[in-house]
Structure 1
């Protein structure tokens, strides 16, 4: 019986979806294949019916395109006013999303989902407005044409010759909770177009000659119908999972072909391909592994060959592990909503089919609503057909079975001779133990052989008359039958257990390898490290050689890993890698494409394209034919491709961030220069022109004008020095030239340079007499004090006090420059050290350049110190410098 319990993952997804839907609005899309099919008209008709039924309906934006019948349907509906924007002297009107959010209706109509909003709107695209409305819990109805779906853009451009610029991401289309297809025939649409019901006559004539051709409309109509069908099929699958339906819902055909080691399977696969093509349905090729045999076994090789044929014909190949072929296939078919199963007709003798049954009979009996097609296959001659004669290696387990049964017979005979196991039941148990061990160690075939041999040995040596197969007592016939039956059952169950253990171990190793590979790749950055880690791990995983080629913007791919391998030395490897990258397909050894290559090449395919190729060469080339092995390698290639893509996206994001920061610095610099250069230049120009043009100026006026020129020139010089100093610090070119200096001299020199700025302030200097010499760059440190003093003078009113204090603080010197002015803006204690950041206006109403404090912190940091700013408790601001004190500082001699 199939397991009817619901899938826990489906239950979790359902709970999460219901939780999201409880707060999110619903979206309904009126979908068509071209303008004029009646999407807006149908939406308004439904809106009028919804309003009549008592719903609160509001029109956020509707474009009637001048059609009277459409405008008539707006009567009685509340329409939100549009928002006006001015762009390059033109007044634009567009949808007001803020008004819609404030109104918060039950149902909002927003026409033309793919529309590009006017400049000045919060979002660039209208579908982004709709997403915000849905997140706010507002139900939205909208309209959309098929040519606006992003994934179909290139296809529609190829069909119509027109590239559509306004597109909607597929995820925005998939968000729709309901989809209503609005459809008319192309002939009727062309008739509406000629009648002027879509565009004005001149525009309609141009549209008929270009986009609105009947062939284009027919193709667009088919695409719209397919998109609607795909969406409806998704809804059907969701509903089926929600009801936990066991039987398939035949809303769409899906085929499954059973693949086995029989040479006749090839014809069944080809028949399935033809049937799938006729039904336009996806199809699966499925094999059930009961034995756990190695990939090199003839049966596995034949299955692999059939899988390769199915993959070439377009099937999805799957290998399942199970104990019963028919039950495993039917369970999988129901989980994938398969409607038809194709299987080859068995060639077993009639007596065997009657006694043991067949997979075909089981499928026909248990398939339920799934149709089962039994196809008569024909054996095809292939170059890779497995040998029918068993090799010595394949016969060896049977020799071991003979030896084990013989050894068990000797042991039983010895125990009887010693009177330790006289009962025949004990002898039977010994033989059954030998059969169980043979089944566990060597598989089902040797175990069945051992079961028959054990019965014969028991009859020949331990049942009277001895040394003959004749039986004196007929009751032993029952003993033989039960013994043989138990031996066969034990051998079957034990071999199945062994196969399951082998399959579990294999899957565990593969899962563990993929986990370790993913863990390594997630912690590394850079192509060199990613490729190195992946190449080493895959080589360890497959026990062979690995080479990795990466795509280059131009020219052949670059070898990134495996420079010393046999793969690289082969002359065909580079062309094969280039072919794989260009075509995004498997090639090389074991395939039908470039099979003379030394390795099997997998494309490194990510979501953004193919990033390279990974080549794998193993000693046992037959492993390359195993579909499970290929799937493992394909998973490794996908992980590496995604890691390379993630690294590339991180680099692009970093470059974009650097470019944005550089653009911001450039804008700030231009803003600063345009303002701070313009003011002193204007003052210099005005003063100098007055000196040149005035014929009679008294000495005092001339002196004032000359002082203005000098002051503004000095101001301009300081600004340029700051810009130059900042550029040197950013480039790392400003290296401190440290010498021993007295702090008092540095402060005194800085006060002298800023005497004009501090002339209207009360300056107090409080330096401790115990201060040691400082090992600093005198010019740079003087610049720090000059900038801090100018900052204090610029941002505090006249008459305020500026205090400079310095004292020892452990192994540092603490220097504080404080004032009792208005202080720093709240939250700006750290931002004021950013380049070009300018907080409140200066005391004279202007603003600083925004570079002085950034230069100060950079210089102090270069000296190994710190510079912080804070507001004083009693009012005003304080800048605190902490510089390290050297233990080797020379002593200052005071006379």
Structure 2
């Protein structure tokens, strides 16, 4: 029976297929020990692939001196290895850059779990393989079962040898093909004795340690189980792809309790194996109790366990609460957790009498299964909170003792002054001293102060004095109540202080993110955004910050932190480039480019990784703590979103400009096509008449020639307006300001428009005290020419055109008015738009609609403004107000009244 897949399943399948197309595949030749024939089988398969015409290259193969293995390398292209100097010895490592440049179809990279030499790009070879796959290259590699991370502790228990070189399970799970290479242990031991695996001396050491039949049989069983599990997963995946069965709704979800105990490492690995077997997601959760402040050593240990869990594929979460069990189980139920894994170390019998966290979880878990993983004795102990401190461990206790001593002095003074009810006041004084100790010194010194306060009260204030004996048995109750209240006060006060400190820390982080977001939201431009973000993050971390941004081609560009040590370090540029390309954390404290001095965070937006954030602090491990890492990732994400917003705004502005330019182009073509066609038709008709009729009368010939000249001049003015408008819109014209006499500019404009104004009287009124004016003479003349032509075009013949000027508050008021029909109501502002034409007037159809738009652009280029309105007595009035430059020399002029 088949089931129709849901749209979400189809979408997820398509997305996974698309993502897989961009990555190279991985084939692992899998075995249970060295010598089973993994490299030999890989080379045999490679020879068949080469014979079939596939492009296959040997990136790195370790033949271990085996002649039959070296023989299979013949005929295969082999890349040269990278020499690295390590402590005076030259080592040969896999050259990943050479492999990326060659970019074959298939590449062989032996020993997937190998640790690269210092100075390599990656700490592990599996990271090299991941980068090759990211570049679209298919990789073949080899792996033994003891190198699987989740099986590390099991291998150590079986063989007694802790394997240091491991591969994360996620890498093996992402492999497209797992080919099991298997031989019986007896045959493997025969190969070892025959010298076909190691040299004789190495073979003897291996036979006495690792290569024992019991070890090999156990390793073989683990490899067979792992291979069978992989086959089962492949079968289930194929059935789901063919929709044979519906998706299983098991709802399995695992949760691991993460703490500072060494047992946590084993718990995490056990949970990973269970999650892989159940094909279920799993969580790693740490609980911060409000009543207890974790020491830096405990926080570092928890952060180390979190990194292991993340490497194995877990989702890590840190929770805060007043009760461990309640906080854990409430969260587990909110996430539909079905199984909880918790570690339990061995304690003395007397400690178990008071119960434990494990017992509370078991009692309150309800329908959630709880798996208890016992820790091994002799694990590395967690340092005490004071072991990393420079202060003397007993100093807080001495200070609490001093507080009780001061309280005793105050109580003795009250008793000496015979204050009413002095005994009750004495108890209050001691409780106050306990509260002060709890707030300033912590819970331990406060408990110590509580006990000392009761003993001091008994010794110094309860008769008989100066002895711990009690004359009245009622004081026993007083001592018990006093001790209970003191312990309660110490617990509540220290818990309150811890809560206040954690709240303050969270408030500081929230405020930092808010302030960073506020700063970034109010700015634009990548330079300013990066500068603000770099300064804020540097203040937040207390270290040096450098920010690299992606370049379209070539290495990333350092945009912030040029004077930091990060900028001068030779590994910083390659590290930033790798982080940008792979969108992963790298640098100091990580396994990728660990020789860098800074930690690099990817700056990832919604569409791509735009840059890398490098942070250099004295203690880089502090940046890798879960809370601090999330804070820095949030800062990097805010910067990425701000950069993306700025880039999208620029793209939108460019798109708008292109759209407007296209619209202007279309409008221009539609608007001027008639204006261009009319003069051209007139010129063509007149010239054809002159050519076809040579014997025309002189008067007719003259009229035709005048028509040709007039239309040519009109066409020239139209093209000049179009060119001028396009230059003004593009910002290519900037005023060339010089000192000018306004009378000369007006006279030149009247001379240029003499033919248009031949039927219009012109009246010019200029004051005789006008100073020299700092304008662009050519642009101002063009302004007057366009205004005068507009007046001549839209007013009846015989009407007067007036030009007046006046000085008003250090501004020039230049007015051109006419006595025509005026402007239509509501068009006073629209007439300055490009290609807008007014309807009145005998010659309204002859305008291009650009003259007044050019006037407005010229006035705005001079920092002024222009307006149009109807005159009270009839006609239109155009007023240009232009600012005057200070300090102009005064040139007196005679008052001029000119009529034309």
Q: Distance in 1 between matches of 2:311 and 2:21?
A: 32
Q: Residue 800 of structure 1 contacts residue 821 of structure 1 at CA under 8 Å; is this kept in 2?
A: no
Q: Distance in 2 between matches of 1:556 and 1:344?
A: 47
Query: Which range moves more in the overlay, 764-773 or 300-309?
Result: 764-773
Q: Residue 264 of structure 1 contacts residue 380 of structure 1 at CA under 8 Å; is this kept in 2?
A: no
Q: Which residue does 1:371 correspond to in 2?
A: 368
In 2 relative to 1, CA 813–526 (structure 1 residues): closer, same or farther, beyond 3 Å?
Answer: closer
Q: Distance in 1 between matches of 2:836 and 2:350?
A: 94
Q: Residue 295 of structure 1 contacts residue 623 of structure 1 at CA under 8 Å; is this kept in 2?
A: no
In 2 relative to 1, CA 621–554 (structure 1 residues): closer, same or farther, beyond 3 Å?
Answer: same
Deviations 1:66-114 (A, max 9, x none): xxxxxxxxxxxxxxxxxxxxxxxxxxxxxxxxxxxxxxxxxxxxxxxxx
Tell me the TM-score normalised to structure 2 length.
0.65
Superposition pairs of residues 620-659 of structure 1, within 5 angstroms: 620-659=619-658
Q: Is 1:603 matched up with 2:628?
A: no
Measure how far apart 1:855 and its partner are: 2.1
Q: Which residue does 1:562 correspond to in 2?
A: 561
In 2 relative to 1, CA 473–292 (structure 1 residues): closer, same or farther, beyond 3 Å?
Answer: closer
| Residue in structure 2 matching 1:362, options 360, 363, 386 | 360
Measure how far apart 1:499 and its partner are: 0.7
Q: Which residue does 2:193 correspond to in 1?
A: none
Aligned to 1:549, what secondary structure does the other structure show? strand
Q: Which residue does 1:708 correspond to in 2?
A: 707
Superposition pairs of residues 239-254 of structure 1, within 5 angstroms: 252-254=251-253
Superposition pairs of residues 393-542 of structure 1, within 5 angstroms: 393=391, 394-405=393-404, 408=407, 428-456=427-455, 478-542=477-541
Q: Residue 290 of structure 2 contacts residue 321 of structure 2 at CA under 8 Å; is this kept in 1?
A: no
Q: Distance in 2 between matches of 1:653 and 1:496?
A: 54
Q: Which residue does 2:857 correspond to in 1?
A: 858
Q: Distance in 2 between matches of 1:412 and 1:273?
A: 60
Aligned to 1:564, what secondary structure does the other structure show? coil
Q: Distance in 2 between matches of 1:697 and 1:767?
A: 43
In 2 relative to 1, CA 294–666 (structure 1 residues): closer, same or farther, beyond 3 Å?
Answer: farther
Q: Which residue does 2:736 correspond to in 1?
A: 735
Q: Distance in 1 between matches of 2:378 and 2:547?
A: 36
Q: Distance in 1 between matches of 2:881 and 2:794?
A: 23
Tell me the TM-score normalised to structure 1 length.
0.65
Measure how far apart 1:777 and its partner are: 5.6
Aligned to 1:594, what secondary structure does the other structure show? coil
Q: Is 1:892 matched up with 2:889?
A: no
In 2 relative to 1, CA 415–606 (structure 1 residues): closer, same or farther, beyond 3 Å?
Answer: same
In 2 relative to 1, CA 541–855 (structure 1 residues): closer, same or farther, beyond 3 Å?
Answer: same
How large is the RMSD of aligned CA atoms in angstroms? 4.3
Measure how far apart 1:307 and its partner are: 2.0
Q: Which residue does 1:579 correspond to in 2?
A: 578
Query: Which range moves more in the overlay, 383-392 or 859-868?
Result: 383-392
Deviations 1:349-397 (A, max 9, x none): 5655554x433343444445x5141321425999996469846634432
In 2 relative to 1, CA 820–381 (structure 1 residues): closer, same or farther, beyond 3 Å?
Answer: farther
Q: Which residue does 1:680 correspond to in 2?
A: 679
Measure how far apart 1:710 and its partner are: 1.0
Aligned to 1:815, what secondary structure does the other structure show? strand
Q: Residue 295 of structure 1 contacts residue 626 of structure 1 at CA under 8 Å; is this kept in 2?
A: no
Superposition pairs of residues 687-836 of structure 1, within 5 angstroms: 687-729=686-728, 730-742=731-743, 746=746, 750=749, 753-754=752-753, 756-758=755-757, 763-768=760-765, 770=767, 772-773=769-770, 775=773, 779-795=778-794, 801=799, 803-804=801-802, 806=804, 808=806, 810-811=808-809, 812-821=812-821, 823-824=823-824, 827-836=826-835
Q: Distance in 2 between matches of 1:564 and 1:750?
A: 59
Q: Distance in 1 between matches of 2:807 and 2:798?
A: 27
Aligned to 1:266, what secondary structure does the other structure show? helix
Aligned to 1:376, what secondary structure does the other structure show? strand
Return 5+ residue gaps in structure 2 as ranges.
23-235
Q: Distance in 2 between matches of 1:519 and 1:487?
A: 46
Q: Residue 761 of structure 2 contacts residue 798 of structure 2 at CA under 8 Å; is this kept in 1?
A: no
The count of aligned residue pairs is 672
Return 5+ residue gaps in structure 1 as ranges.
1-30, 35-143, 162-214, 230-249
Q: Residue 576 of structure 1 contacts residue 597 of structure 1 at CA under 8 Å; is this kept in 2?
A: yes
Q: Residue 257 of structure 2 contacts residue 340 of structure 2 at CA under 8 Å; is this kept in 1?
A: yes
Q: Distance in 1 between matches of 2:510 and 2:822?
A: 65
Q: Distance in 1 between matches of 2:830 and 2:470?
A: 104
In 2 relative to 1, CA 421–310 (structure 1 residues): closer, same or farther, beyond 3 Å?
Answer: farther
Q: Residue 766 of structure 2 contacts residue 895 of structure 2 at CA under 8 Å; is this kept in 1?
A: no
Aligned to 2:256, what secondary structure does the other structure show? strand
Q: Distance in 1 between matches of 2:540 and 2:658?
A: 42
In 2 relative to 1, CA 753–582 (structure 1 residues): closer, same or farther, beyond 3 Å?
Answer: closer
Q: Which residue does 2:33 correspond to in 1?
A: none
Query: Which range moves more in the overlay, 453-462 or 328-337?
Result: 453-462
Q: Which residue does 2:227 correspond to in 1?
A: none
In 2 relative to 1, CA 302–885 (structure 1 residues): closer, same or farther, beyond 3 Å?
Answer: closer
Q: Residue 301 of structure 1 contacts residue 626 of structure 1 at CA under 8 Å; is this kept in 2?
A: yes
Q: Which residue does 1:590 correspond to in 2?
A: 589
Query: Which range moves more in the overlay, 655-664 or 497-506?
Result: 655-664
Q: Which residue does 1:210 correspond to in 2?
A: none
Measure how far apart 1:502 and its partner are: 1.0
Q: Residue 841 of structure 1 contacts residue 847 of structure 1 at CA under 8 Å; is this kept in 2?
A: no
Q: Is 1:304 matched up with 2:303?
A: yes
Q: Distance in 1 between matches of 2:608 and 2:298?
A: 37
Superposition pairs of residues 93-104 of structure 1, within 5 angstroms: none
In 2 relative to 1, CA 772–660 (structure 1 residues): closer, same or farther, beyond 3 Å?
Answer: farther
In 2 relative to 1, CA 385–671 (structure 1 residues): closer, same or farther, beyond 3 Å?
Answer: farther
Q: Distance in 2 between matches of 1:813 and 1:259?
A: 80
Q: Residue 736 of structure 1 contacts residue 780 of structure 1 at CA under 8 Å; is this kept in 2?
A: no
Superposition pairs of residues 30-179 of structure 1, within 5 angstroms: 155=16, 157=18
Aligned to 2:741, what secondary structure does the other structure show? strand
Q: Distance in 2 between matches of 1:145 and 1:754?
A: 74
